[in-house]
Amino acid sequence: MDSNNSSLLLSSSSVLLHHQKHQLDSSFWEKQIKVPKQFIWPKGDLVEVQEELNEPLVDLEGFFKGDEMGTQQAARRIREACLKHGFFQVINHGVDSRVLSAAYDQTAKFFKLPPTLKSRVKKIPEATSGYASSHTDRFSSKLPWKETLSIDFHENSQEPVVVNYFKSNLGEDFEQTGNEVLISGNNGTSGNQPGRLTLGTGPHRDPTSLTILYQDEVGGLDVFTNNKWMSVRPRPGALVINIGETFTALSNGIYKSCLHRAVVNTDKERISLAFFVNPRDDKVVIPPSDLLGNQGTRMYPDFTWSDLLRFTQFHYRADSDTLKNFTKWFLSSKSLNP
C-alpha cells in the first residue's frame, strides 16, 4: 500500500486527572467520590478482563538480516494474527530503545505542563492535530478518561513536521521534545472511582490502516476476541501492531480489525504512544483482484482515507461498527451528490 499519510496521537488520561480545568486533581478526588456522569461508561463496556491474549510475538531480526526462514516465519505469524483478530507484537523491530524511551519521556513531560501551556496547542474543531482533553469539545457522554495530543505527519514532507510543531507552538525549549517524539501516546489513570467507572479509550476498531503502539508497563490495552475481553500484556521493548478498518477494506474483509479499548488503572497513570499509518489522501482503497473471490465481489465501496477520516471526525464517533456505518453514509451521500 502507498502509505505515507500518518498521524501521531499522544494521550494521557492520568494527566487529565492532575491538570484538568474543573479541578480534577488528586485533592479533588480526596474530597469527592463522584465521577462526573459524562465520564461514566455503560456497565457492558466496563466488563473486566479475565485472561491475557496469547497474541503472536513476531521477531523481525531475520527479516532485517535478509534471512529467508526467519522472514517466512514472521510472515506466517502475521498472517495468522490478521486472519484471527488483527493484533500481534513485534520485537527486534529496528526502532532504537533509546528513541522509544526518549519519546515516552517527552510525552510525559508534555502532559505534565500546566493547562495554560498545553492549551497553546489546543486542537481546533476542524483540525486533526492538537491537544484535546477528554474530547469534551466533540462529545457530551461516554467521555474518555484521557487527554491526547495528535500530530499529523506526512512522510514525504520536506519539513521536520513534529519538531516544527513543538517549536512553533511551545517555543525553542520544546525543539528537543519534537525531535524525540517520533511516535505518540495514549494514557490511563489513577483513582479508585474513575478506575472503576471510566475508560481511557472506549471500545472501537481503528479506522486507520495500521496502528503501531508503544504502551508502558502499566498496561490496560484490551482486545475483544473469542467473545471476551482479553488483555495485551506490555512486553518490554515490543511494539503492538494492529490492523485498522482501512486495511480490512483493502483486504476485502479478509484481515480483521479487532474491537479494543484502554482501561483505566486504579492506582497508576498510563501513557501510550500510537502511530497511525494511512494511505495517501488521493489513493482509492481498492483490494487486489485475487482477493475478490470467485464472484469478484467487493465488500466495500471505493473510498479514500480522507473520506473515512472526515466521517470519524465530523459525523460519527469511531466504535465497533465504523466501517459498516461509513459505507452506508458514504453511498447515500454519493447518491445525493453524484
Ligand X SMILES: O=C(O)CCC(=O)C(=O)O
For residue 262, the partner it binds in ligand L2PXNNRO, ligand X, Fe ion, none, with Cβ less than 5 to 8 A by kind, is: ligand X
Query: 128 vs 176, which CB is nearer to ligand L2PXNNRO?
Result: 128
Q: How far is the CB of 61 from ligand L2PXNNRO (least distance, A)?
A: 29
Residue 307, CB-side half-sphere exposure with 13 Å CA sphere: 20
Active site residues: 270
Residues 167-206 that bind Fe ion (CB under 5 A): 206
Residue closer to ligand X by CB (options 118, 260) is 260
Burial profile 296-328: b = 16 or more Cβ within 10 angstroms, e = fewer = eeebbeebbbebbbebbbeebebebebbeebbe
Query: What cell does 334 get?
Result: 454519493
Using CB atoms, what's the residue nearest to ligand X?
186
For 308, residues 6+ apart whose C-beta sits below 8 A from its C-beta are: 207, 245, 246, 322, 323, 326
* DSSP secondary structure letter of residue 95: -
Q: How far apart are CA 125 and CA 138, in angstroms?
A: 8
Is residue 260 near ligand X by the rule CB under 6 A?
yes
Kindly tell me which of 111 and 275 has the beta carbon lying closer to Fe ion: 275
Nearest 10 degrees: Cα torsion 145, 178, 87, 226: 0
234 binds, among ligand L2PXNNRO, Fe ion, ligand X, none (CB under 5 to 8 A by kind): none
| Contact residues: ligand L2PXNNRO, CB under 6 A | 9, 135, 144, 148, 201-202, 204, 206-208, 276, 309, 312, 317-318
- Minimum CB distance to ligand L2PXNNRO smaller for 13 or for 252: 13
Q: Retrieve residue 237's grid coordinates.
A: 521493548
Contact 224, 279 (CB under 8 A): no
Q: Which does 215 bind (CB under 5 to 8 A by kind): ligand X, ligand L2PXNNRO, Fe ion, none?
A: ligand X
Place of cell 480489525: 257
Residue closer to ligand X by CB (options 237, 301) is 237
Query: Which 8-state DSSP code applies to residue 315?
Result: I
Question: Which residues have CB under 8 Å from 80's CB, separation 6+?
Answer: 56
Per CB under 6 A, the segment of 106-114, 136-144, 205-213, 251-259 that binds ligand X is 205-213
Where in 173-202 is the site for ligand X (CB under 6 A)?
186, 201
Binding residues (CB under 6 A) for ligand X: these are 9, 186, 201, 206, 211, 213, 215, 221, 260, 262, 272, 274
